[in-house]
Structures are given as C-alpha cells and as structure tokens.
Amino acid sequence: MKFKAIYSFGLMALLAISCGEDQQKNGEATDTAFAKAEIAFNEPVDQFADIKILRYQIPGFENLTLKEQKLVYYMTQAGLAGRDIMWAQNYRHNLAIREALEKVYTMYDGDKTSDDWKHFEEYLKRVWFSNGIHHHYSNAKLQPAFSADYLKELLAASGATLEGEAFDVIFNDKDAKKVNLSKDADIVLESAINFYGPDVTTAEVEAYYKAIEVDKNEPIEVGLNTRLIKENGKLVEQVYKSGGLYGEAIDQIIGWLEKAKGVAENPKQAEALGLLIEYYKTGSLDTWDDYCIAWATTTSGNIDWINGFIEVYNDPKGYKGSYETIVQIKDFDMSKKMEVLSQDAQWFEDNSPLMPEHKKDSVKGVSYKTVIVAGEAGDASPSTPIGVNLPNNNWIRQTHGSKSVSLGNIISAYASAGGSGRLQEFAHDPEEVALEEEYGQLGDKLHTALHEVVGHASGQINEGVGTPKETLKRYKSTIEEGRADLFGLYYLMDPKLQELGLVEDWEKTGKAAYDGYIRNGLVTQLIRLELGDDVEEAHMVNRQWVSAWAFERGQEENVIEKVTRDGKTYYNINDYTKLRAIFGELLRETQRITSEGDYEAAKALVEDYGVKVDQNLHKEVLDRNSQFKSAPYSGFVNPMIVPTTENGEITGFTIEHPANFETQMLEYAKTYGFLK
C-alpha cells in the first residue's frame, strides 16, 4: 500500500560524490564527499504540460561501508532491469510506441523549431513520465497536439516504424482509459491496462478467480503475477517468471539479485533475497508469501528494498500487481524519532472510535522507518509515493507484521521545490496561511506516518467475510486508502502526539493538517483534472469523499463553512474538535464497511461523494490556478550510482545526476530495454 503526496501547497513539492575505497576502511566518510559541481536541487529539472521534474539527493550514502554500497547498487540495478515490465503492463502497445517515438527523437534531423515538433517533444515527455500513453494519475489517454500525418512524416524521416493499431490508437478514441472504474462500465473490458487480454470481461475474471480454491486462513494473492488471456476461447494465465511472460527482463533482475545476495548484511536478509530469486524463477505465489514473511521479519540492517509485482491499484479487479522497486537506506535520526508510533500502535488501536468487534486485540510487528531513497523503478518512477506499507497480504500482516516507511528525502525534495503562491490563493485567511507555513510540513509527515503505521495496520475483517477485493470489488482501493487517511486524521488532533514528543504544539499542527486536507479534498486537487472529468484515481477519490462527507455531516452546526468572497470559493473550518469527531464517525463506518464487506454502502459512499465534480467550482478553480506556472504534478529523475573499478573489482562509487529528463529516459531505454 502506498501513500501519495497530497497537494496542500505547503509541503509541495552534474553533482558527483566520491565514495571510494580509501574512505571506507573505517566505515567513515572523509572530506572527499563534497559536490564537484553545483546542482540546484530546489529548482525543477524540467517542466512540461502538467508535470515538473525534480531531483533528489541520497544523504548518508557516503557513510555506508563499501559492502553496503554494493548492496544498494545491485538492488537499484535489479529494479531498473525490470523497467520495461511496467511499460508493458500499462498497455499492450506501449513498448512499440516508445521505441518509435524515441527513434524519431534521436534520429530526426529536420526542423526542430516548429510548433509541431515542440508538441511532439512534449507528448514524448508525457509518455515517458507516465510509463505509457495514459496519464499517470487520471488514467485518461494522452492527447497529442500534432496530427497523424505529421507523425508519419517524422517516422519516415527517421527510419522508425509504427503501424496498425499501435499507430492508430495514439489518435483515435479506443482504449481511452487505462483503468475505467465507472459504475456503468465493464471495468475489465473497458480498461486498457494489459493485465487481461483485450477481449476478457469482468464476469469472466470474477468467475475464473472465484473457482480457484485457496487456504482460507492463509490465502495466496491469486492472479498477482499473471496476465489472464484467452487462447482458443479458454482463459489461461501467462505467469511473470523466468522463461515465462517478461522472462527476458526477469532473468536480468535475477542476475542482479544474486549479486545482491552475495553482499547481504546478514543471514536473514540473504534468506529473503534467496526467496525473491526463487519466486522470480518459478512464479510460485507460495514462494512469494514465504518471501514476504522473510522480508517483513527482517528488520536489522541499514539497507532495505521493495521489489516485485505489488500494488493492485492499476487492476480494476484488484488482483494483479504492478512492477515496482524502491531501494532504501535507513535514516537513523528520523527513524529513531518515529519508532514511538510503532511502539504505541496498540494504544492507537484501543483508543480509536472503531466498533469493539472491529478492533485488533494485538497489532503485531508494525515497523516504521523514515528512509532515504537510493533508487526507484517501475510504478514508483518517475512519479513516486511518499510512504509505503507492505506486505499487502492481510494474513501475513496480521500474523507476521508489516513494514511502514516514509520516504524522507523524497518528502524533503517536494518541500524544497514548493512555494508557488497557490497557498495564498486558495487558503481562506491569513491565519490558515500562517498555520500551514509553520506547521503544515510536519502535519503532512505525521499524517503519512499515521496513515501507514496505524491506519493500514488497524482493524479486522469479521469471521467468514471475504477479502475487500472480493467484497468491495472496484471500491476496495479507495475505501482502504480513505480508511487509513481517516485513522491518521482522527489522531492528528490528539494531545497524545505531543506526549510522545512528536510535536511541540499538537493543536496547531492538527489544525494545519485539517485545513490542508479539506482545502485539497474539496478544492485544490481539482487543478489536476480536465474540466468536465470525474474524479477517478483512488487516492483523489478518497480525499474527496472524506472531505465532502465531513462537510455535509457538519452543515447543521456549521463545522466547515463554505465561503464565497469576490467570486472565489473557500472552505473554512470553524470547529476543529467537532470535525475530529466527524472524522471518527466516518472512520467507524468505513471500518464497518470493510469488516462486514458491505458493497452497497461502499458504492454509495464513493459514488455519492467521491466521483462527481461541481463543474462551476471546477471552472473557477482552474481559472484561479491559471496564474501559476508551477505544474500540479511532480516526479523525479533518479540519481545514478556509478561504480569505480580497479582490476575488475568495484572499489567505490560516484553519485551523478542527469543533466535533464530526456537524457535519463534515453539512457534507460538503451541500457535496460530488455523487452520488445
């Protein structure tokens, strides 16, 4: 489970470091670890369409031993080796389209000053950012501002080939949504995501997986690592594994993981890596569960990772995992401060407003760390989460525990790139602005921590009730994210946070967090949508239904006031204590929905409050936002960890940052293009 950055407008959001053999002898950094060239980390690398590209640093890498640095390097290489898998998963023609567009970009020697060429460049950058031709957040197909005839001219002049459906789909109205969760749609048949054959229906998927018998107490995540297609009219699964679907890339992943296993920090870590290798070789979901248990219970060491087919947000039915990797270095200072949440997880569960029968008697093994990201790939790049809680298999979480991480250097990079002026435009009054500027960033960090550690870890499903993907179906993801959000929101206004030493003023921090959440959920996240669009991405949907339900519930007592001033709309919280009670009430209900598998209640909550947009308000927000040049979405280029060698042996590393977005994308395609 991942936590995306909310757009609160308070948080948002070639250097080379030598780490050679000499400075590693005592496990300490020397004064050689300094910038060799100035890089502006607080300024975008690039900006196009609705996207800005940022950089992040890897503080502390130079303090690792050479062996630890090798582990980081091998794991980042393993992640990048599978990069093409995410492109292929997102849409069946993505790789062919990318190859043709990149060949045009590198080989075309015609007029590059025309508007058409500029539109082509922007389209290619958008495709790169989204790992395909559908928008990374809205799921809508990207619309080129150049004609089909112009693209044909570019292809011919560059010696590139793109024909048939792969060419036509760029310009026609087919496969318009990567994930279509409309209540009136056949959500599998009408989703372009490549987890299913293009002729497979929702009813067929449901029947196929319903017929698979699993252990009720320890169920595997059926369908997690397969593509379900029809062969001669019969449904069959293509397994992601060595020798199977995406096998060419998976073999490369395995090679790097074997190198990583050779420099593991401890036997438990080596055991986990061995199981991950075996999983990639066999595709066995039983082995995947064994790996998840080994990984979740490996809590020592300075290096950790996320690697596999993990999050199911891109599957309209919630079975199939997107390829994702994040390599992490422990942030010792912040992790020590935040361990208190893990230690007190049971207190939060016991004192929550959940029904007694829905509370866990024992919240097991919640591990929370702030980490430094060293590299990302797949579904985590270029657009990255800011927090992750894994594993996703509920019985493993309950029996063996889970790991929650906050991506500290990513959050800091967002914060450094903030300050667009939108806060002053959309906040109700100077008091709200002042609270956000002083306490907003801390409030956002705490909400991420509470969401991941106590939110996702809390609550239990009633005996005999199926998993949320079985009971809540298309609403599973947004209900779960909203439930975790609400758990965090409820405790953001609790003096317990100050008692634990996490804040200096719990009330002001909580107020800033509440202001930011309501402002974003009801107003500012609308800048991410085209006028006329519904809200569809799971996190955006949950922020709207949480905020809209709370606004409606508190109307009688004017808890949240809708204010119109000079033709502009604002939402002002008049009573934070009552709003906290409303959040608690909604948390209790969403846990009930989850625990009882109440599909109709989930549907009503999401469809009535989370999807539809007030078009007059939306137009107003877009008009007000048009004065700002900063793009609403952010993503990152990855630092490049480059080995230095002597006599074929790695003796150290430098960290280099790409000069621009296109340089990294083209280098990735050249170096890690293992699928065709």
Q: Classify residue 345: in a domain, yes or no.
A: yes
Residue 16 confidence (pLDDT) above 60: no
The residue ranking higher by pLDDT, 445 or 190, is 190
User: CA 8 to CA 520: how far, in whole Å?
Assistant: 6
For the chain, the 3-state helix, strand and coil shares in percent, each to the nearest 5, are: 45, 15, 40
Residue 5 confidence (pLDDT) above 60: no
pLDDT digits (tens, 9 = 90+) for 95-143: 999 999 999 999 999 999 999 999 999 999 999 999 999 999 899 999 9
pLDDT at 8: 40
Q: Classify residue 260: in a domain, yes or no.
A: yes
What CA–CA distances, in Å, run from 360 to 215, 231, 304, 351, 357?
A: 22, 45, 28, 11, 8
User: CA 160 to CA 167: how far, in whole Å?
Assistant: 12
Confidence of residue 420 (pLDDT cuts 50, 70, 90): low
pLDDT at 241: 98
Q: Classify residue 195: in a domain, yes or no.
A: no
Q: Which of 164-173, 195-204, 395-404 has the lowest mean pLDDT?
A: 395-404
Contact, 199 vs 233, CB < 8 A?
Answer: no
For 169, what's the count of Cα atoms within 13 Å in the CB-facing half-sphere? 22
Percent of the chain, pLDDT > 90?
81
Q: Classify residue 674: in a domain, yes or no.
A: no
User: CA 132 to CA 97: how far, in whole Å?
Assistant: 8
Per-residue 3-state assignment (H helix, E strand, C coil) for 613-665: CCHHHHHHHHHHHCCCCCCCEEEECCCEEEEEEECCEEEEEEEECCCCHHHHH
**Number of continuous H segments (helices) and E segments (strands) in the chain:** 26, 16
Q: Classify residue 664: in a domain, yes or no.
A: no
pLDDT at 34: 29
Residue 582: which domain range? 2-82+244-636
Q: Classify residue 40: in a domain, yes or no.
A: yes
pLDDT at 68: 98
CA 27 to the chain's CA centroid: 33
Q: Classify residue 409: in a domain, yes or no.
A: yes
Confidence of residue 370 (pLDDT cuts 50, 70, 90): confident
> Could you give the 3-state DSSP secondary structure of residue 548?
helix
Mean pLDDT for all residues in the chain: 92
Token duo for residue 152: 């044909």
pLDDT at 537: 87
pLDDT at 418: 61
User: CA 436 to CA 447: how far, in whole Å?
Assistant: 14
| DSSP-assigned states of every residue in 560-624 | EEEEEETTEEEEEES-HHHHHHHHHHHHHHHHHHHHHT-HHHHHHHHIIIII---HHHHHHHHHH
pLDDT at 3: 63
pLDDT digits (tens, 9 = 90+) for 294-349: 999 998 999 999 999 999 999 999 999 999 999 999 987 777 767 888 889 999 99
Domain count, the chain: 1
DSSP state of 533: P
pLDDT at 183: 86
Q: Which of 225-239, 440-454, 643-657 has the lowest mean pLDDT?
A: 440-454
Q: Classify residue 156: in a domain, yes or no.
A: no
